[in-house]
């Protein structure tokens, strides 16, 4: 066996040695905007914040944008603005960052976990409907990895059962469903600008909505409970200080200048990977819904289908791919409901039982929750992160070649 066909993990030559693009990408636009704000001495919640809110909302085809400290805060003020509260249930996926569920707890409501689809990693509308009760107030679909959830199905459920939809759009800057950006497809939607995200100011977030009432209520919750056009020391809601700064907005305006071209490039490269990886045994691709007119790709996800790699674990596969020069991760190792904060018995740990429990009338015990598809995905998902999709076609071909090489030599992994 030649060194080129031998796995790098077993002493062969790796497919690739040069690095993929690093993150974040920044330059003159951010520097110019930051210096302008710095020299102005107006650093607090002013013109740049307003400019970014308007431009980002327009980018996502939404009417209103309310900036805030992070994506978690965006979800919280979105839930509050939709009047979700004590004793009510909110259906969420268990395959997501903890904030999708913890935001529900923060507004004193009860997260109810519905399963995901294996070929999208998004909430399954059929299981969501099975979990709806008389106490259900809202659904929080996550556009996981930038792949939009089936918003037609969720809006149909919302109309049927009189529910609110708060999108967790924290992976979907630039994603479009039937030509309209995510975030205002439902009642509102939250985005994150944390350091790893496709548009970043280190931290930051925004809530989008087409409803002026929802937007202004969210604004009040994020701005100490103040009212629009009211005096500074009048407070109408029990809000908090969740405001974005002018310096963060300056950075985000610079980042926004590149987002269109970066989103399109990631989308093209994701489609190239789909085409090249399709047909490799043991690799399962995500389904591309024709109603999705653009995808942002925070992560490119595929499945390591365990039963087609007998005797080889996902971790061995990822280790082999990394050795070939292709960074890859297994993502979330457990469903949200298996996190310690959800596994403690009622009353035995601070924060386990939300304040709403006395108003709920039912026991809260997540130890018995099982979402089979989520359990599978946590064992089989493989993530390739978004900066890699800003490379060129020949770099995407390296990913395809490395995957093919690992598959061709998969039996050698049994002994590694």
Residue 153, in any domain of the structure: yes
Phi, psi of 70 (to 5 degrees): -170, 175
Tokens of 371: 């979402």
- Look at residue 351 in the predicted model and tell me its pLDDT: 46
* pLDDT tens by residue, 283-327: 999 999 999 999 999 999 999 999 999 999 999 999 999 999 999
Secondary structure E strands in 237-277: none
Average pLDDT over residues 366-372: 93
User: Hunting for tokens 């990631």 — which residue is that?
Assistant: 266
Count of the separate structural domains present in the chain: 1
Residue 382, in any domain of the structure: no
Residue 244, in any domain of the structure: yes
Model confidence band, residue 113 (pLDDT cutoffs 50, 70, 90): very high
Other CB atoms within a 10 A radius of the CB of residue 162 amount to 8
- Look at residue 77 in the predicted model and tell me its pLDDT: 98
Residue 198, in any domain of the structure: yes
Catalytic residues, which ones?
97, 168, 171, 194, 197, 226, 233, 243
Q: Which domain covers residue 239, as residue numbers?
A: 28-255
Q: List the CATH number of the domain containing 87.
A: 3.40.640.10
Q: Which helix (H) or strand (E) holds 167?
A: strand 164-168
Residue 386, in any domain of the structure: no
56 pLDDT exceeds 50? yes
Residue 283, in any domain of the structure: no
Residue 56, in any domain of the structure: yes
- Look at residue 349 in the predicted model and tell me its pLDDT: 47
- Look at residue 357 in the predicted model and tell me its pLDDT: 60
Residue 203, in any domain of the structure: yes
For strand 180-181 and strand 136-139, is the pairing parallel, antiparallel, or unpaired? unpaired
206 pLDDT exceeds 80? yes
The residues pairing with 294 across neighbouring beta strands, listed in sequence order, are: 176
Q: Which helix (H) or strand (E) holds 230?
A: none
């Amino acid at each position: 066996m030649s060194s080129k066909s031998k796995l790098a993990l077993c002493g062969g030559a790796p497919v690739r040695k040069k690095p993929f693009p690093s993150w974040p990408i920044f330059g003159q636009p951010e520097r110019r905007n930051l210096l302008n704000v710095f020299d102005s001495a107006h650093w607090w919640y002013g013109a740049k914040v307003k400019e970014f809110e308007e431009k980002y909302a327009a980018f996502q085809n939404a009417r209103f944008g309310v900036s805030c400290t992070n994506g978690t805060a965006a979800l919280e003020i979105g839930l509050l603005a939709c009047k979700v509260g004590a004793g009510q249930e909110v259906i969420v996926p268990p395959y997501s960052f903890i904030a999708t569920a913890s935001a529900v707890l923060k507004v004193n409501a009860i997260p109810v976990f519905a399963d995901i689809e294996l070929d999208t990693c998004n909430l399954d509308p059929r299981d969501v409907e099975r979990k709806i009760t008389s106490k259900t107030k809202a659904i929080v679909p996550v556009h996981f990895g930038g792949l939009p959830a089936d918003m037609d199905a969720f809006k149909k459920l919302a109309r049927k059962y009189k529910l609110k939809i708060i999108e967790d759009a924290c992976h979907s800057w630039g994603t479009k469903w039937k030509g309209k950006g995510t975030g205002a497809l439902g009642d509102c939607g939250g985005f994150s600008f944390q350091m790893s995200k496709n548009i970043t100011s280190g931290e930051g977030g925004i809530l989008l909505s087409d409803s002026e009432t929802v937007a202004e209520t969210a604004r009040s919750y994020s701005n100490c409970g103040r009212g629009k056009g009211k005096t500074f020391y009048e407070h109408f809601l029990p809000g908090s200080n969740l405001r974005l700064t002018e310096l963060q907005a300056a950075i985000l305006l610079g980042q926004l200048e590149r987002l269109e071209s970066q989103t399109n490039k990631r989308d093209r490269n994701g489609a190239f990977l789909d085409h090249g990886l399709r047909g490799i045994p043991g690799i399962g691709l995500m389904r591309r819904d024709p109603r999705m007119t653009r995808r942002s790709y925070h992560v490119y996800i595929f499945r390591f289908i365990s039963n087609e790699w007998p005797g080889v674990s996902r971790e061995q596969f990822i280790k082999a791919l990394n050795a070939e020069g292709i960074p890859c991760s297994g993502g979330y190792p457990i469903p949200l409901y298996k996190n310690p904060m959800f596994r403690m018995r009622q009353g035995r740990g601070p924060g386990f039982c939300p304040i709403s429990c006395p108003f709920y009338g039912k026991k809260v015990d997540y130890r018995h929750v099982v979402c089979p598809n989520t359990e599978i995905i946590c064992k089989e998902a493989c993530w390739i992160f978004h900066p890699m999709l800003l490379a060129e076609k020949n770099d995407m071909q390296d990913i395809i070649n490395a995957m093919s090489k690992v598959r061709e030599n998969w039996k050698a992994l049994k002994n590694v």
